[in-house]
Amino acid sequence: MSGQGLTGLSSWSRRLVAAGVLVWCLISVFPLYWVVVTAFKTPPGVVGGPTYVPFVDFTPTLQPFIDLYQGIRGEFFRTFLNSTIIGLSAAAIATAVGAMAAYALVRFEFRVRFGAGLIFFLLALGGYLLFNNTLGFTRPQALLLAFPIALVVAIVSNRLPLPGPILGNEDILFWFVSQRMFPPIVTAFALYLLYSEIGRLGFQLIDSYVGMTLCYVAFSLPIVVWLMRDFFEAIPIEVEEAAMVDNVPSWRIFLGIVVPMSMNGLLATFMITLAFVWNEFLFALFLTNSRWQTLPILVAGQNSQRGDEWWAISAAALVAIIPMMIMAGLLSRMMRSGLLLGAIK
């Protein structure tokens, strides 16, 4: 691609544009430089006013990181492990489940009657109210009863010639993506109530590995389905058709042909999902309290606990930031191979 839009400019204004981009880059990078440098400062290096260059302005020290590791400022080591375990498993499950759904939406035809969807919603809502208010079940029991009933009735009624529009694959995709539009506070708060009521039935979900992973899988699925659909659509269908002629079953086509061909896309989706989960704050704030606390919560807590101990705050922030910095490096490599081109259409 030639220099569109800039070809008409003189070399002087080209330089001006380059300078503008450079300024933005400096603005982008300076806070990162600042936090890296501050994490190696000693208390005098912070209190005496801003200092910038190690060994010239101040003597660097590793003490903040040693403090972190020893758990003086909260259990960083365990929280880091929590974040890693939850992040990796949620991203892996979400990518696998979402990729399957995306593949199904690209290659198979789905028809959902609008009426069936409506029946599902009304039955779930009505059934819940009926079980809870009239029949005297507790709220989670009522929900757990109403949900499968509504689902089964809706699936059966989907085969009946109901009036109303028929929704296709595009609409199902839109439904998935629109889940991302919901303010997460709606889900987070309700999920907290739901989890705690299920907890009263004896199955602990709040502050547990299962609860957090489940919630993050659901939370990431819309993005995964959206991204993966584009990757799958870019795969030439001829390869799959050739396999179908040989009567290879669909699941083997998916695992043996489609997945290897879209490995790059799967990897990128996995990393983007991991970044989302790693940085997520609101759900973790509601759904954890001690054992399975994740890094963002602990990092945010540094603020109020320790007034102006910047060296500690910076070291804490760095622990949360560094894995993502490495990921940015990896992602930017993939970006050059035209990865995100497809995602936008």
Partner 1 sequence: MMRNDPIKHVFIWPAVLVVLAISIFPLIYSFTTSFLSYRLIPPIPPRVVWFGNYATLLQEPRFWNAIFTTTLIAFIAVGVQYVIGFGVALALNARVPGERLFRVALLLPMLLAPVAVALVARMIFNPTMGPLNQFLSMFGLANLPFLTNGHWALGCIIAVEIWQWTPFIILMMLAGLQTLPEDVYEAAELENASAWQQFWGITFPMMLPISAAVVFIRLIESYKIMDTVFVMTGGGPGVDTETLTLFAYQEGFKKFNLGYTSALSFLFLIAITIIGVTYLALLRPHLEKRR
Does position 246 interact with partner 1 (CB under 8 A)? The reply is: no
- As beta bridge partners, residue 113 has 166
Q: What is the DSSP letter of 166?
A: E
Report the nearest approach of partner 1 to the CB of residue 181 (Å). Answer: 5
Nearer to partner 1, 124 or 292 (CB): 124
- As beta bridge partners, residue 166 has 113
Stretch that binds partner 1, among 64-72, 74-82, 157-165, 214-222 (CB under 8 A): 214-222
Report the nearest approach of partner 1 to the CB of residue 279 (Å). Answer: 4
- Of 273, 266, 257, 250, which is closest to residue 324 (Cα–Cα)? 273
To the nearest 10 degrees (0 to 180), the angle between helices 63-70 and 76-107 is 80
- Please give the Cα distance from 197 to 211 (Å, whole number): 13
Nearer to partner 1, 163 or 211 (CB): 211
Does position 257 interact with partner 1 (CB under 8 A)? The reply is: no
- Grouping H, G, I as helix, E, B as strand and the rest as coil, residue 314 is helix
Site for partner 1 in 299-338 (CB under 8 A): 299-300, 302-303, 308, 310, 313-314, 316-317, 320-321, 324-325, 327-329, 331-332, 335-336
Total residues in contact with partner 1, by rule CB under 8 A: 115
> Which listed residue (44, 164, 165, 249) binds partner 1 by CB under 8 A?
249
- Please give the Cα distance from 244 to 107 (Å, whole number): 13
Residue 58 backbone dihedrals phi, psi, to 5 degrees: -155, 165
Does position 136 interact with partner 1 (CB under 8 A)? The reply is: no
> Which listed residue (121, 160, 203, 291) binds partner 1 by CB under 8 A?
121
- Grouping H, G, I as helix, E, B as strand and the rest as coil, residue 54 is strand
CA angle 171, 172, 178 (to 5 degrees): 85
Does position 165 interact with partner 1 (CB under 8 A)? The reply is: no
Does position 222 interact with partner 1 (CB under 8 A)? The reply is: yes
Binding characters for partner 1, 14-43, by CB under 8 A (x = yes): x--xx-xxx-xx-xxx-xx-xx--x-----
Report the nearest approach of partner 1 to the CB of residue 270 (Å). Answer: 14
Site for partner 1 in 51-110 (CB under 8 A): 52, 97-98, 100-101, 103-105, 107-110
Strand bridging mode 166-167 / 112-113? antiparallel
- As beta bridge partners, residue 58 has 54
